[in-house]
Amino acid sequence: MGGSSPVIGILALQGDVREHRRMLESLGATVVEVRAVRDLAGLQGLVIPGGESSVMDKLTRLFGLTEPLRWAIDEGLPVLGTCAGMIMLANELADGIEGQETLGGLDISVQRNAFGAQRESFDTRLDVRGIEGPAMDVSFIRAPIVTRVGDGVDILASLDDARVVAVDNSQCMALAFHPEVSGDERLHAMFVARAREYPPLPGDLPTTLV
């Protein structure tokens, strides 16, 4: 398995890459910004950050990363997706724009921008399953919600009105909110520990992917 400083990639085509990088490095991870297929070699985990999911999808396809990322997820690579990253990890997208695709990995359905426009963004405190200590301080910024949870997916957190905002299937963890913005590192620490146990992706990916 991997060493004490796991190598974690951040999909760095669009979104809040810097905030995730700062938090992961503070937790002892070695961070690689993923912009090309070659950047996947050696990864033990991947973060898909917040941003604009439709733009992220288009750029992922433009840079030839869609199928390699799907392959890596199928291989069991641990993934953390926040906000737009949750959308990218969903098997089903309820309200995507025409032609919008996801990477998949979680048997969930997701609704984009479920909380309205940017001005409806808000901070709150949230109890998250598996997180010890006080409730987490989190930020919701044009956030999605999970409208369907399939077999094998655990609900980690819901709002007071029962809307699901965090899920996990022991490989892929998806959050509608931004702990990297509010500064609570406990979910990232859980993810870093998970990545530490995953063997690095091979340097030679299947020839059909490169």
Which CATH number, 3.40.718.10, 3.40.120.10, 3.40.50.880, 3.20.20.70, labels domain 7-209? 3.40.50.880
Run means of pLDDT, 10 residues per run, the chain, 210 residues: 81 94 96 96 96 93 95 96 96 87 96 69 88 90 92 95 95 94 92 96 75
pTM for this model (two decimals) = 0.93
Task: Give pLDDT tens digits for 1-47.
Answer: 445 899 999 999 998 899 999 999 999 999 999 999 999 999 999 99
Angle between the 186-196 and 17-26 helix axes, to the nearest 10 degrees?
Answer: 70
Catalytically annotated residue among 19, 20, 172, 178: 178
**Given 19, 20, 172, 180, the catalytic residue:** 180
Domain ranges of the chain: 7-209
From 83, 172, 185, 188, active-site residue: 83
172: annotated active-site residue: no
188 is catalytic: no
Tokens (6 digits) for 55: 């733009």
Residue 67 annotated to the active site? no
Q: Which residue in the block uniquely carries the two structure tokens 């992961």?
A: 24
